[in-house]
Amino acid sequence: MLFLHGTTASAARSIIKTGFQAADTIWTCSDPRSTYVVEVGSRYSEREAVYFACDIARVAAAKLGTSDTDIVIFGFDFTSDMADKYLLPDISCENMEGCWFIDNNSLNKLMKIVEISYSGKVIKDGYIPYLRPFYLTQASHNYLTLDKELEYVCSCLRDKDVNDIYDMIFAVDFEDFDTLCDFV
């Protein structure tokens, strides 16, 4: 069973060095001691799951205000038994069917003792910093805490129908997950 987690390249470098750590989460509904993943194959095709993970990574990058333009998608391959034992359904907010979470300590342990295989793929220039407000409008403002000025800009954009523009500008162009560059 394949599960994907999207993040910025700088966060991915930190994960490679020190593992998944408790951190200030950008989502007001998330547990900072857990890592959230999307499952390939249940609700989402591989392509849809990659898009979902990319969108989450873009919102995280926008919330943080990073200038890092690359996105990394981690893929975790769990056996059915391991998934049943360690993954819990993400019920932190609505519309999270097909998403799961795992305690960071458990995930780090499984990665270290090679109980699960994992890899990272880079989406070059997957985040465009100057389009930060557009990314943030795609997330529910109920689950993000933004400063006043940024919230104002996002609320103005939310009042417009930006979904079509967003889909045209931010669609990831690739044939399949295996064609993305490996993360070093």
Q: How confident is the model at residue 155 (pLDDT cuts 50, 70, 90)?
A: confident
Q: Please give the pLDDT value at position 74.
A: 94
Q: How confident is the model at residue 28 (pLDDT cuts 50, 70, 90)?
A: low
Residue 87, pLDDT > 70, answer yes
Any idea where the domains of the chain sit in the sequence?
2-179
Query: How high is the mean pLDDT of the chain?
Result: 81
Q: Please give the pLDDT value at position 184.
A: 45
Report how far apart, in Å, the C-alpha atoms of 133 and of each of 34, 48, 52, 95 are. Answer: 26, 23, 18, 22
User: Which residues in 57-86 are b (16+ Cβ under 10 Å) and which e?
Assistant: bbbbbbbeebebebbbbbbbebeeebbeeb
Positive or negative torsion for Cα 158, 150, 73, 40: negative
Mean pLDDT of 121-145: 80
Q: Please give the pLDDT value at position 53.
A: 92
Structure-model confidence comparison of residues 99 and 172, the more confident one: 99
Which residues neighbour 68 within 8 Å (Cβ) at sequence distance 6 or greater? 8, 9, 10, 61, 127
Residue 171, pLDDT > 70, answer no
